[in-house]
Amino acid sequence: MSNFTHSENIKTIAYLGTSGSFTEIAKDYFAEKYSINAYQMPFRTIKEIVAYVENNEEAVGVIPIENTKEGIVRETNDNIINSINENIKILSEAVLPANNCLLSKNSEIYNITGLIAPAPAIARCQEYIKTQLPLHLNIINTTDTEEAARLLNSYNLTYAIIGTKKTAEIYNLNILNDNINNDKNNYTKFVMIGSFETEPTEHSVSSIAISIPDVPGVLYKIVKEFADNNINIAYIHATPSNLQSNEYILYLDFIGHLKEPKIKSTIDNIMQYTTYFRFMGSYERI
């Protein structure tokens, strides 16, 4: 298990979403893994979290970066590379199941006649709703799961909501069915960001964001640097740059830590081929 230098100095852990959200679950996961005992602060947007962490060196933030169904969370990457404080980087990464549950004050699913949920949650669980719940189900739309959980108290015991196991824990609800998503293999990758130092472990990964000139062979030269140093590129992805028109940002994940000499020298070598370079962190996958 990697450690953060002076991790006991983490005073705040910021996270995205409302009570019971998947990011709150990820926040709890990171806090347990790294024994973080800090004030917990929810935010509505990824931009707000990155800005808060950028301006508070004793804070860390937990945000989603990729989902198996919906792909890259571009807002996360954009806000990290656009942060003025280049000490803000990824400290750790975890992949957790995006598991929706049917929750109710009732303990029997056959009693359910109504559903309170936001439209995206209904869409993610449409197959289950069609096949397992009444044909004439009364559906009440909300803005988010937290609102649905609060509204549940105003309705009789035949109503249910869609939420997480954390939602059930917070609002003292029964889990009538677990993993009711359309996609049973839906996972979200979360990262914890901050300005704390990390140490190399056998599970260390490093990430960079680069742009390269429109010149033949440049990408080949970069990949060759990794190959020549026996460094495995685990992931590469390109997105249009929001820093400059007609330019792309390449995101690369590769095995190893910046404190390893061959990683440091490889990064130093590839910088000569780039028009933009941002180190996004050396961190542990847990």
DSSP character string of 144-164:
SHHHHHHHHTTS-TTEEEEE-
CATH superfamily of this structure's domain 1-98+186-198 = Periplasmic binding protein-like II (3.40.190.10)
Same fold, 1-98+186-198 and 200-286: no
Q: Is residue 243 over pLDDT 80?
A: no
Going from the C-alpha of 93 to that of each of 8, 66, 98, 130, 188, the distances in angstroms are 19, 11, 15, 35, 11
200-286 CATH, one of 3.30.70.260, 3.40.630.30, 1.10.760.10, 3.40.720.10:
3.30.70.260
Instruction: Convert the pLDDT of each residue in 50-76 to its tens digit.
Output: 999 999 999 999 999 999 988 999 999
Fold of the CATH domain 101-178: D-Maltodextrin-Binding Protein; domain 2 (3.40.190)
Instruction: Convert the pLDDT of each residue in 158-188 to its tens digit.
Output: 999 999 999 999 999 999 999 999 998 999 9
Q: Is residue 3 over pLDDT 80?
A: no
